[in-house]
Amino acid sequence: MAAKLRKGDEVIVLAGKDKGKKGTVTLVVPKTGKAIVDGVNMAIRHERQTQTTQGGRLPKAMPIDISNLSLMDKDGKATRVGFK
């Protein structure tokens, strides 16, 4: 199936705990049918401290299924994407 979302697209979440949230696609994984969106489906991950980075509990965006996302139009509403 052709991916209807690309990196950099503005999307809105249609279903799940983050329903109604808006964000930008940072990564699309067509093989699994998932995408990573900034500020959506966040989880706390524990990072070990290193010489260059501060450790602790850091929020990280987790993959969300593409079927739960929809492209946003200029008015901020969800739209459908089709191919001709």
Of 4, 26, 2, give the one whose Cα is nearest residue 72: 4
Q: What is the pLDDT of residue 2?
A: 59
Query: Domains of the chain: which residue ranges?
Result: 10-75
Q: Phi and psi for 66 in degrees, rounded to 5?
A: -65, -30
Q: What is the CATH number of domain 10-75?
A: 2.30.30.30
Q: What is the pLDDT of residue 4?
A: 85
Instruction: Report the C-alpha gap between 17 and 20 in whole angstroms.
Output: 9
Q: Specify the DSSP element, H or E, that contains 30.
A: none
Please check whether residue 69 is in contact with residue 3, taking contact to mean a CB–CB distance below 8 angstroms: no
Q: What does the pLDDT profile of the chain (84 residues) look like in tens digits?
A: 557 889 999 999 999 999 999 999 999 999 999 999 999 999 999 999 999 989 899 999 999 999 999 999 888 888 888 877
> What is the residue-wise DSSP string for 44-76?
EEEE---SSS--EEEEEEPPEEGGGEEEE-TTS
